[in-house]
Structure 1
Amino acid sequence: MLEKARRRATIIDVGRHAGVSAKTVSRVLNGEPHVSPAVQQRVRDAAASLHYHPNMLARALVRQRSMLLGLVYENPSASYVVELQRGMLTRLADTPYRLVVFPIASIIERSGEVAGLLRSAGLDGVVLAPPAADDLRILNDLASAGIACARIGPSRAIELAPSNIVDDITAAREIATHVIELGHRTIGIIKGHASHAASEARTMGYSQAFYAAGLPMRLDLVEQGDFTRESGHAAAERLLARAEAPTAILAQNDDMAVGALLAARERGLTVPDDLTLVGFDDSEISRICWPPLTTVRQPVFEMAREATDMVIAQLEDRPPLLRHDHPHDLLIRASTAAPPRS
C-alpha cells in the first residue's frame, strides 16, 4: 500500500481508468481539438480521481519551451503586486504555463541586465509592469532575445509591444477636480517615484485641474514620495508642518495616502473634518483603512490578465491584441469633504 501511495499516476493509468488511449489523454490535457465532450469529461474525471498532474518538465522538453512566464515589477506597493499576480495566475489557470516573479529594486539602474536575467531563467515570455514597461532598453533587448512580452501601463513607444493602458492624466484630473470643487484651495501633492512615468502623468492631470479652476499649482506644496507608505508618511509630515498647511492632500497611490493618514492622526487631525485626503489605485488598503479613501480605480487585475493573454497569443502564433485601453473610475468615499471653516 505504501509503495502504491508513493508511485505517481501516469498518463497510461489515466487512460486505463477512462477507457481511452494514452494519446487521447494527452490530446485532452493539452487542449487539442477533435475529442468529444463526453471523452474529455471522462479523462478529466479520471485524472482528478488518480490525482494525476502532467509532468511540466516533460511537456517543456517535447515542446522545446520552458512553459514559464515572468512578471517584472519594481513597485513596492504590496497590494499592487498582489493584483498583478492574481491577474496573471487567473489567466494561467488550466494552461500548461507557470508564473515566475522577478522583483527588481531599481529598474533604471539594472535595465541593461533584465533581458539577460530573463533569458538565463529560460522564460518563454514576460509581462512588464511600470517602470519596466516604459524602459526602451529592456524592450529592445527582449525583442533581440526573442522573448515575447506585453506591457502594463506604459506611456511611451506604445507601438513597440502589446500594451494595456489607463489614462492616468484624465484620472488624476478628475480626482483633483473633485477636491477643488469641494472648495479646497491650499492643496498638497505627494508624488510617486520619479522613475515611474505614471507619476509625471498624474502630476500633469493635477495641473490641468488646477489650471481649469484658475488656481496655481504651488510647488512649495509638492513633496516627493516613492509609492511606499513610509514615504507618504514622511511627505505628509513635511506638508502638515508648514505654517500654511494644506487642507487637502493628493497622494499618487493609496499606500502613500495611508501614510499621510497616519501622519495626520499623529498631529491630532481628523480626516476628512480637518484634512481631505485622496489616493490612487483602489487597492485593498484603500477600502479597509478608516475612513476609506476616495481614490481612482485602475483595473490592475484585468490589465495583468489581459497582458498575460497577449503573451500567450504570441507563443501560440496567434495575433495578439496590440493595445487595450482600460477604463478607470473615480470612487468617492469618506476621506473627502469641504475644507474646515477656520
Structure 2
Amino acid sequence: MEKTRKSARRRGRAVTIDEVAALAGVSPMTVSRVVNGHGKVRDSTRERVMRAVRELDYTPNLAASSLAAAQHTRIALIYTNPSGAYLRELLVGLLRAASRTAIQLVIDYWDDLDVEAERKAARTLARKVAGVILPPPLCDSKTAVMELVRANVPVVAIASGRFSEEISCVRIDDFRASKEITEHLIAKGHTRIGYINGRPDLSASVRRFEGFQAALDEAGIALERGLVQQGDYTYRSGLKAAERLLSQRRPQTAIFAGNDDMAAAAISVAHRRGLDVPRDLSVVGFDDTSAATTVWPELTTIHQPIASMADAAIDILLRSIRRKDRSTRVLVDHVVPYRLVSRGSVAPPLPAGRQPKGG
C-alpha cells in the first residue's frame, strides 16, 4: 500500500478511489458512501476510510452537480476564544479541510454578546449556513446551541469537556489528560502544586480540575484551596494568578496551568521573581499550542491535536448535512487521543532545606 501511494505521487496524477479503498481495506463503493455522506457505514469503517483519504490526500472526483453543491456548502466557525495561539491551530485544520472538501468557510466573531444578542446572532447565522462549528467557549453555550438546534442546523462542538445530548462533539478526555500530567509532576517528587484554573463556565475547565484533584487524592496529597487560583485562559489572567501563587509564604515547587498561555505567564512571573524554571519551580500547561515552544524553557504540556480535531469536525458536519433523512439527528462523540509532551519546564524539586524564597 505504501508503494501504491508513492507511485501515485511520483507519476504526478490524482489519487484514485480504488487506491483509497485498498489502503482502507474496503470497497470503492464504501469509500464513495463515506466521502459523499450517503448510506449507512459503521463508524469504525468511516474513520478508517477518512484516515486513508487524509493520508493519500485524496480529492473526490465528484460529478459537476455534486461539486457545485459542495462549493455552495457554507460552514461557519463562531469564534470568541481569547487565545491567539489556539485560534491559529484551529484555523489550520479548518482551512485544510475546506481546501479538501471544497466547502465555503465562514468566520463569525462574537465578542462579549449578552444572552439576547447571542440568541439573535445564532438565528441570523442559521439562515445563512448549512452547519456550524463551536470551539471553546461557545461549545458550552446553551443559548447558541439551543437556537441552532431549533433551526435544524447541524452543529459540532470542538474541545468540550463532555459529550452533549444536543450536538456532536470532537474532544479529548480532559480528565485523564489532566490526571496524567499531574501524576507526571508527582512522580518527579512534587507534592505542593499550584493550579491555575480556566474559565469556570467551561466543561473542559471542570474536567481538567477534576483530573488534577483525582491525581492528588490517589497520591494522598491534600488539596489546599490557597494553591488553586482562577484564570480565564488569557495570558494576563495567568500573570495575576501566578503572582498570587508565588506571593505565598510557603512556596510551591510546581504550577499546573489550565492552558499554555497561562503557563507561559507563570514562567514569566517566576523569572521576574528571580526563580529558575525548572530548578526552583516546575511549570506545565495544556493544549501544546505555539505558546508552549515560544517560551524559555519550553513547556511540558498535553498535546491536544486542535488542527486535526477541526478537520474531523468538518467531516462529521458534512456527513450530517448530506444525510437524506434529516428528521432525526445522528450525534457523534469523537474522542481523539492526546499525549503528554515532556520538555524543559519540569525537574525534581529542590531538597526541603534549599527551597527558594522568591522575591
Q: TM bucket by the smaller chain?
A: 0.7 to 0.9
Question: Structure 1, residues 244-287: CA drift from partner, whole Å, max 9, x if none?
Answer: 12111000000000011111111111100110000000111202
Question: Structure 1, residues 41-78: CA drift from partner, whole Å, max 9, x if none?
Answer: xxxxxxxxxxxxxxxxxx9xx85995321112332111
Aligned AA for 1:131? P
Aligned AA for 1:112? R
Change (3 A) 1:282 1:158: same
Q: Name the SS for the 2:256 alignment partner.
A: strand
Q: Name the SS for the 1:93 alignment partner.
A: helix
Q: Where do residues 41-120 of structure 1 align in structure 2 (5 Å cutoff)?
A: 67-106=73-112, 109=115, 111-119=118-126
Q: Are 2:336 and 1:329 equivalent residues in the alignment?
A: no
Per the TM alignment, residue 115 of structure 1 is displaced from its structure 2 partner at its CA by: 1.5
Query: 2:317 is matched with which residue?
Result: 311
Question: Structure 1, residues 104-126: CA drift from partner, whole Å, max 9, x if none?
Answer: 23477454334224135x12211
Query: 1:146 is matched with which residue?
Result: 152
CA distance in 2, matches of 1:107, 1:171: 31
Aligned AA for 1:182? K
Q: Name the SS for the 2:165 alignment partner.
A: helix
Aligned AA for 1:338? P
CA distance in 2, matches of 1:138, 1:65: 26
Q: Are 2:206 and 1:200 equivalent residues in the alignment?
A: yes
Q: Name the SS for the 2:101 alignment partner.
A: coil
Change (3 A) 1:156 1:111: farther
Question: Structure 1, residues 78-120: CA drift from partner, whole Å, max 9, x if none?
Answer: 1111111111111110433221222323477454334224135
Per the TM alignment, residue 317 of structure 1 is displaced from its structure 2 partner at its CA by: 2.2
Q: Where do residues 268-307 of structure 1 align in structure 2 (5 Å cutoff)?
A: 268-307=274-313
Q: Name the SS for the 1:160 alignment partner.
A: coil
CA distance in 2, matches of 1:132, 1:87: 18
CA distance in 2, matches of 1:321, 1:157: 9
Query: 2:135 is matched with which residue?
Result: 129
CA distance in 1, matches of 2:120, 2:223: 39
Q: Are 2:180 and 1:174 equivalent residues in the alignment?
A: yes
Query: 1:46 is matched with which residue?
Result: none
Query: 2:55 is matched with which residue?
Result: none
| From 184, 209, 216, the counterpart of 1:210 | 216
Query: 1:232 is matched with which residue?
Result: 238
Query: 1:249 is matched with which residue?
Result: 255
Per the TM alignment, residue 132 of structure 1 is displaced from its structure 2 partner at its CA by: 1.9
CA distance in 2, matches of 1:306, 1:290: 32
Query: 2:270 is matched with which residue?
Result: 264
Aligned AA for 1:142? L
Change (3 A) 1:312 1:245: same
Query: 1:339 is matched with which residue?
Result: 349
Aligned AA for 1:276? S
Query: 2:48 is matched with which residue?
Result: none
Q: Name the SS for the 2:160 alignment partner.
A: coil
Question: Structure 1, residues 156-176: CA drift from partner, whole Å, max 9, x if none?
Answer: 453322211210000000001
CA distance in 2, matches of 1:167, 1:264: 30
CA distance in 1, matches of 2:250, 2:85: 33
Q: RMSD of the alignment, in Å? A: 2.4
Per the TM alignment, residue 323 of structure 1 is displaced from its structure 2 partner at its CA by: 2.2
Task: Answer yes or no: is the 8 Å Cα contact 1:65–1:124 preserved in 2.
Answer: no
CA distance in 1, matches of 2:177, 2:100: 35
Any stretches of 5+ residues in structure 2 without a counterpart? 1-34, 37-64, 355-359
CA distance in 1, matches of 2:70, 2:312: 25
Query: 1:9 is matched with which residue?
Result: none
User: Normalising to structure 2: TM-score of the pair?
Assistant: 0.73
Q: Name the SS for the 2:111 alignment partner.
A: coil
Aligned AA for 1:329? R
Identical positions, percent: 36
Question: Structure 1, residues 211-241: CA drift from partner, whole Å, max 9, x if none?
Answer: 0000011111111111011111111111111
Q: Work out which of the two has the higher radius of gyration on C-alpha atoms and give 1 or 2.
A: 1
Query: 1:184 is matched with which residue?
Result: 190
Task: Answer yes or no: is the 8 Å Cα contact 1:294–1:332 preserved in 2.
Answer: yes
Any stretches of 5+ residues in structure 1 without a counterpart? 1-30, 33-58
Q: Name the SS for the 2:311 alignment partner.
A: helix
Change (3 A) 1:107 1:164: farther
Aligned AA for 2:292? S
